[in-house]
């Protein structure tokens, strides 16, 4: 009878915890998900930061357009003159904008932090009574302009 009780006790014992193989499988699954998610998240945050960089030129564009209409040319339309605000340099308080410079109507914006190496240049054409249009030249490390919105770069 005692022999029978020992066998019953052994069979009724429940297993607790995970085996090493099960833990390794879970870690492998998490690693695969992380390798997919992290680059996507970095791209997403870089694109979100890019929106600040793209909006930075908006006030300068309006000021340059007014300068062109008032003076009739782009030559006098530089930062700090003819109603155009002074250029912004690395000392500005923006998290993503390194510099904004205006020279002869051309506006150049460059990024910093996660946007280091990215930027763009806006070049006006037209004026003298006609509509002013802007040509956009995008600057990106390794010519990776895919971060910019479709159709933004000329």
- What are the residue ranges spanned by the domains of the chain? 41-147
Q: pLDDT: is 2 or 54 the higher one?
A: 54
Looking at 3.40.50.1000, 3.40.50.10420, 1.20.1600.10, 3.30.700.10, the CATH number of the domain 41-147 comes to: 3.30.700.10
Output the pLDDT for position 145.
82
Q: For residues 82-112, b (16+ Cβ closer than 10 Å) or e, as one string?
A: eebeebbeeeeebebbbbbbbeebbbbbbbb
* pLDDT range class, residue 89, cuts 50, 70, 90: confident
Look at the block and give the residue holding tokens 């700090």. 80
Do the Cβ atoms of 121 and 103 come closer than 8 Å? no
Output the pLDDT for position 13.
62
């Amino acid at each position: 009878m005692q022999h029978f009780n020992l066998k019953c006790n052994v069979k009724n014992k429940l297993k607790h915890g995970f085996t090493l193989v099960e833990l390794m499988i879970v870690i492998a699954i998490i690693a695969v998900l992380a390798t997919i998610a992290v680059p996507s998240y970095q791209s997403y945050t870089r694109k979100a930061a890019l929106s600040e960089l793209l909006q930075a030129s908006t006030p300068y564009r309006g000021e340059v357009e007014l300068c062109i209409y008032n003076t009739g040319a782009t030559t006098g339309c530089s930062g700090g003159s003819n109603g155009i605000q002074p250029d912004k340099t690395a000392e500005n308080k923006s998290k993503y904008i390194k510099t904004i410079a205006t020279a002869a109507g051309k506006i150049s914006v460059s990024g910093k932090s996660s946007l280091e190496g990215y930027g763009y240049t806006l070049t006006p054409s037209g004026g003298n009574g006609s509509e002013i249009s802007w040509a956009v030249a995008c600057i990106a490390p390794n010519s990776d302009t895919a971060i910019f919105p479709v159709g933004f770069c000329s």
